[in-house]
């Protein structure tokens, strides 16, 4: 069988998954953790503890403050020291709860053992409630609250649950490690989501540079005897892990501009999310831990790690524990090298969606000076959304918002393929991201105005 | 044979031309757009920079709006200033409210010396992009980002980046106070302030709203919100809000007491004849 992949664009960066053989290690607890209130897409959570309170690991410390929002739990046991503004990864102020660690006591009912629980509860509403109460969010990057995604609007039906095991970003190996070490847990998590969605087909999409994971999934499915669940090896291409790209690769369907995956009958969940769902539903364990990779081209073999971390650990603490920041690291990135964010503040703390600490040398990461566009069209060839980045860039420079909207700048997934492929080193994505933000703002304002107009009309009647 | 063809051609073409000219003449008469002739007159006295500083798309749009408006209260050309507005008022027979001439003021002290760089930014050279990505390459998240969006926005060549300080410099002789730079700055560092008598003005050259210690750590010349200036000011021109002092230029009497009182030197007094005094002292 020839392997499948998404149809449009994409690039082939070298995968350099150098930390793939490193088993997951558990990080020891630091003295203090700082837990951010903005660990998910949507409105930041509202703290519900006070300074001086004693908290246990797994206890709710902040409540959602909107429909698209999530619970935040304490990742450690100890005393709440302060609640206040602290700089996040990009140096912007965000409310954090500071907790001084004392021992490691968990709230009652959390099963911390390794025993696999395969009996799946059949009450959909109860399962969704549990996922919500445990603060599970999508761990593929966007941190969208999972209970919202698993509860599609009435009238739309999920035909296929896609488990995103592509891990298409170079360097990152934390998803790969959990696929090997927690294979069955992930599958049980997938089966729970399958049940919630009404027993649709489940496809696990794995890129073919992880043959061990493919084999592990295949044998585990056989062992667990799951029906309607299959592993689909995908031809390696970035950004395979993009939601719309993965739907295209697996189902051969395209989500139209502005549409949600559910409009073509698809629900995409990351492997790490499947594991979090398993832990939440079967073990009552809220999402307070996740795995991350410490890697990079300026680290020695012994400096590469895959860690199980608790949320709220300062990055500087993790870097210190892993052996310090290498002297020739020119850039430290949180996330993959393609979509990750350069860290300018090492005092920032891990959040639910943290996936890596990546040290890159000047040679691999330094941007070249910008040249002139010769309209070679490489960016348009590389764009997985079928956009024309060179055109969008020019339209942004002259602030033509109408034309930008017509050319679908709002569909940009910010994967960085255009920037990666540009032979003139034009920072296309930097400008397009700005343009996208402005156009989305205009679109939202228009939608809000239309809604207000419709409301006043009905009121007048 | 040949001559008749030529004659017929001339006759037909001339006739056609005459006919169409008549049609056009009557249509132009019938559908004539009545336009106030004063719009043209007003446009003629405008500076013609089409900078948009008045809030309209260009000088013609401003002239149109000024003619249609009942008075000139909401229409003011910052580039032309009082002189042009007097002419406009003369054409339209309105009264004009004189406005004090203004100038763009960069309120940031974060030179490379005062505000050490904490990281290296190598993304797109645009303040807007930089501001959207993170807090900037210094410890101060409020101040100038130094990529020169304001310089690019200025249509009068009044702004330039100082390579030594990394901050934009306003050429007061060229600045027309159109406000393009104010809109272009994502950090709100630039403000339009009254030019003051002989260009003399006093202002707080900082926009840092962090608490004193945090602000000081990021930049040694930042406003720490200590309030000393408020106490020294006898005109109640200074207010401190969110750890940041602000001098109301309408109330300031240019006594410069606050300049001396400021412990960080974040209050600047410009165009005062200080330099002469210093030279005398040196002699």
Chain A residues closer than 8 Å to B133 by CB: 90, 341, 430
Question: For all residues of chain B together, what is the average pLDDT?
Answer: 88
A367, B137: Cβ pair inside 8 Å? no
b (16+ CB within 10 A) / e for B31-64: eeeeeeebbebbbebbbebbbbbbebebbbbbbb
pLDDT tens per residue, chain A (461 residues)?
A: 468 999 999 999 998 999 999 999 999 999 999 999 999 988 899 999 999 999 999 999 999 988 889 999 999 999 999 999 998 888 888 999 999 999 999 999 899 988 999 888 999 999 999 999 999 999 988 899 999 999 888 888 899 999 999 999 999 999 999 999 999 999 999 999 999 998 899 999 999 999 999 999 999 999 999 988 999 999 999 999 999 999 999 999 999 988 899 999 999 999 999 999 999 999 999 999 999 999 999 899 999 999 999 999 999 999 999 998 999 999 999 999 999 989 888 899 999 999 999 999 998 888 888 999 999 999 999 999 999 999 999 999 998 999 999 999 999 999 999 999 999 999 999 999 999 999 999 999 999 999 999 988 887 76
Comparing alpha-carbon positions, the chain B residue that sits nearest to A429 is B124
User: Any chain A CB within 8 A of the CB of B117?
Assistant: no
Query: Poorest-confidence range of A385-389, B51-55, B89-93, B160-164?
Result: B51-55
Could you tell me which CATH number the domain at B38-92 has? 1.10.15.40
Identify which of A224, A240, A22 has the alpha carbon closest to the alpha carbon of residue A232.
A240
Comparing alpha-carbon positions, the chain B residue that sits nearest to A426 is B124
User: Any chain B CB within 8 A of the CB of A265?
Assistant: no
pLDDT at B47 over 50: yes
Comparing alpha-carbon positions, the chain A residue that sits nearest to B130 is A430
The values of phi and psi at residue A93, to 5°, are: -70, 135
Check residue A2 and give its pLDDT: 64
Three-state DSSP state, B239: strand
Cβ(B135)–Cβ(A87) below 8 Å:
yes
In tens, the pLDDT along B245-272 reads 999 988 999 988 999 999 999 999 988 8
pLDDT at B1 over 80: no
d(C-alpha A380, C-alpha A390), whole Å: 7
- Both tokens assigned to B150: 């304001």
pLDDT band at B197 (very low <50, low <70, confident <90, very high): confident
Chain B residues closer than 8 Å to A366 by CB: 122
pLDDT band at B283 (very low <50, low <70, confident <90, very high): very low
Identify which of A109, A85, A108, A100 has the alpha carbon closest to the alpha carbon of residue A53.
A100
Chain B interface, best mutation among A346, A364, A434, A437, by max B CB count within 10 A:
A434
Chain A interface, best mutation among B57, B120, B122, by max A CB count within 10 A:
B122
Candidates B119, B122, B124; nearest CB to A431: B124
Q: Nearest C-alpha of chain B: how many angstroms from A426?
A: 8
A91, B136: Cβ pair inside 8 Å? yes
CB count in 10 Å sphere of residue B262: 22
Identify which of B165, B170, B131 has the alpha carbon closest to the alpha carbon of residue B153.
B170
User: Any chain B CB within 8 A of the CB of A92?
Assistant: yes
pLDDT band at B274 (very low <50, low <70, confident <90, very high): low
B135, A92: Cβ pair inside 8 Å? yes
Three-state DSSP state, A46: strand
A344, B122: Cβ pair inside 8 Å? no
Check residue B278 and give its pLDDT: 44
Q: Nearest C-alpha of chain A: how many angstroms from B129?
A: 6
Comparing alpha-carbon positions, the chain A residue that sits nearest to B135 is A91
Measured in whole angstroms, how far is the alpha carbon of residue B114 from the centre of its chain?
A: 26
Chain A interface, best mutation among B135, B139, B209, B243, by max A CB count within 10 A:
B135
Query: Poorest-confidence range of A124-128, B9-13, B79-83?
Result: B79-83
Check residue B277 and give its pLDDT: 46
- Locate all alpha helices (DSSP H) within A239-311, ordered by sequence: 243-251, 271-283
Could you tell me which CATH number the domain at B102-118+125-270 has? 3.30.70.20
Three-state DSSP state, A403: helix
Check residue B81 and give its pLDDT: 83
Choose between A176 and B83: higher pLDDT: A176
User: Any chain B CB within 8 A of the CB of A363?
Assistant: no
User: Any chain A CB within 8 A of the CB of B124?
Assistant: yes
The 3-state secondary structure of B115-164, one letter per residue: CCECCCCCCCCCHHHHHHHCCCCECCCCCCCCCCHHHHHCCCCCEEECCC
The 3-state secondary structure of A158-220, one letter per residue: CCEEEEEECCCCCCCCHHHHHHHHCHHHHHHHHHHHHHHCCCCEEEEEEECCCHHHHHHHHHH
Candidates B122, B128, B129; nearest CB to A367: B122
pLDDT band at B108 (very low <50, low <70, confident <90, very high): very high
Q: Which CATH superfamily is domain A124-283 in?
A: NADH-ubiquinone oxidoreductase 51kDa subunit (3.40.50.11540)
In tens, the pLDDT along B128-156 reads 999 988 888 888 889 999 999 999 999 88
Read off the pLDDT of each residue in B202-215 and give the average, rounded to a whole number.
Answer: 92
Task: Indicate the domain borders of chain B.
Answer: 38-92, 102-118+125-270
Helix (H) or strand (E) holding B200: none
Chain B residues closer than 8 Å to A431 by CB: 124, 126, 129
User: Any chain A CB within 8 A of the CB of B169?
Assistant: no
Candidates B122, B129, B141; nearest CB to A434: B129
d(C-alpha A156, C-alpha B183), whole Å: 45
Chain B residues closer than 8 Å to A427 by CB: 123-124, 129
User: Any chain A CB within 8 A of the CB of B143?
Assistant: no
Read off the pLDDT of each residue in B85-91 and give the average, rounded to a whole number.
Answer: 88
């Amino acid at each position: 069988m020839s392997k499948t992949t998404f149809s449009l664009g994409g690039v082939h960066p070298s995968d350099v998954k150098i930390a793939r053989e490193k088993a997951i290690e558990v990080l020891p607890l630091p003295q203090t953790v700082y837990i951010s209130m903005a660990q998910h897409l949507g409105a930041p959570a509202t703290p519900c503890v006070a300074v001086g309170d004693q908290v246990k690991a797994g206890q709710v410390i902040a409540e959602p403050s909107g429909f698209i929002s999530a619970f935040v739990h304490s990742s450690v046991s100890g005393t709440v020291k302060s609640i206040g503004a602290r700089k996040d990864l990009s140096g912007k102020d965000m409310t954090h709860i500071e907790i001084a660690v004392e021992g490691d006591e968990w709230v009652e009912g959390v099963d911390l053992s390794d025993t696999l629980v395969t009996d799946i509860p059949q009450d959909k509403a109860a399962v969704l409630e549990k996922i919500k109460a445990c603060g599970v969010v999508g761990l593929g990057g966007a941190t969208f609250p999972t209970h919202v995604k698993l509860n599609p609007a009435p009238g739309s039906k999920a035909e296929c649950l896609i488990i995103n095991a592509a891990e298409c970003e170079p360097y990152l190996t934390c998803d790969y490690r959990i696929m090997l070490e927690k294979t069955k847990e992930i599958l049980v998590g997938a089966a729970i989501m399958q049940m919630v969605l009404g027993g649709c087909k489940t496809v696990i999409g794995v890129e073919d540079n992880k043959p061990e994971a493919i084999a592990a999934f295949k044998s585990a499915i056989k062992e667990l005897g799951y029906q309607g669940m299959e592993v689909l090896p995908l031809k390696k291409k970035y950004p395979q892990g993009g939601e719309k790209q993965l739907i295209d690769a697996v189902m051969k369907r395209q989500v139209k501009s502005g549409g949600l995956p559910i409009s073509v009958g698809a629900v995409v969940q990351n492997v790490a999310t499947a594991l979090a769902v398993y832990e939440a539903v079967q073990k009552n364990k809220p999402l307070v831990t996740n795995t991350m990779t410490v890697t990079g081209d300026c680290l020695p073999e012994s400096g590469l790690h895959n860690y199980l971390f608790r949320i709220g650990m300062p990055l500087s603490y993790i870097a210190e524990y892993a052996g310090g920041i290498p002297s020739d690291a020119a850039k430290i990135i949180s996330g993959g090298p393609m979509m990750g964010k350069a860290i300018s503040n090492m005092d920032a703390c891990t959040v639910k969606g943290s996936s890596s600490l990546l040290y890159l040398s000047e040679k691999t990461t330094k941007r070249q000076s910008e040249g002139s566009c010769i309209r070679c069209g490489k960016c348009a060839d590389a764009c997985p959304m079928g956009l024309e980045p060179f055109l969008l860039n020019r339209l942004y420079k002259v602030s033509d918002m109408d034309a930008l909207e017509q050319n679908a700048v709002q569909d940009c997934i910010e994967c960085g393929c255009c920037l990666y492929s540009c032979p003139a080193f034009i920072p296309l994505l930097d400008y397009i991201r700005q343009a996208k933000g402005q156009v989305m703002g205009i679109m939202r304002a228009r939608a809000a105005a239309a809604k207000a107009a419709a409301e006043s009309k009905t009121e007048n009647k | 044979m040949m001559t008749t063809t030529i004659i017929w051609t001339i006759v037909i073409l001339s006739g056609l031309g005459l006919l169409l000219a008549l049609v056009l003449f009557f249509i132009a008469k019938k559908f004539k757009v009545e336009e106030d002739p004063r719009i043209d007159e007003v446009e003629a006295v405008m500076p013609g920079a089409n900078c948009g500083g008045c809030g309209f798309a260009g000088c013609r749009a401003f002239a149109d709006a000024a003619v249609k408006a009942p008075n000139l209260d909401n229409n003011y050309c910052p580039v032309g200033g009082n002189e042009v507005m007097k002419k406009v008022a003369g054409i339209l027979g309105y009264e004009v409210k004189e406005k004090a001439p203004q100038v763009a003021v960069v309120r940031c002290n974060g030179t490379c010396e005062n505000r050490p760089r904490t990281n290296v930014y190598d993304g797109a050279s645009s303040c807007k992009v930089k501001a959207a990505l993170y807090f900037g390459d210094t410890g101060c998240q409020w101040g100038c980002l130094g990529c020169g969006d304001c310089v690019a926005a200025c249509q009068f060549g009044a702004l330039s980046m100082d390579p030594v300080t990394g901050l934009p410099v306003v050429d007061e002789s060229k600045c027309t106070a159109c406000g393009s730079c104010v809109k272009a700055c994502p950090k709100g560092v630039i403000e339009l302030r009254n030019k003051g008598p002989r260009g003399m003005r006093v202002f707080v050259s900082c926009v840092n709203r962090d608490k004193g210690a945090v602000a000081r750590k990021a930049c040694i010349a930042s406003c720490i919100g200590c309030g000393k200036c408020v106490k020294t000011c006898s005109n109640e021109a200074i207010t401190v809000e969110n750890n940041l002092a602000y001098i109301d230029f309408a109330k300031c009497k240019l006594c410069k007491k606050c300049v001396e009182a400021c412990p960080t030197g974040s209050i600047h007094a410009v165009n005062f004849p200080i330099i002469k005094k210093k030279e005398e002292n040196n002699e």
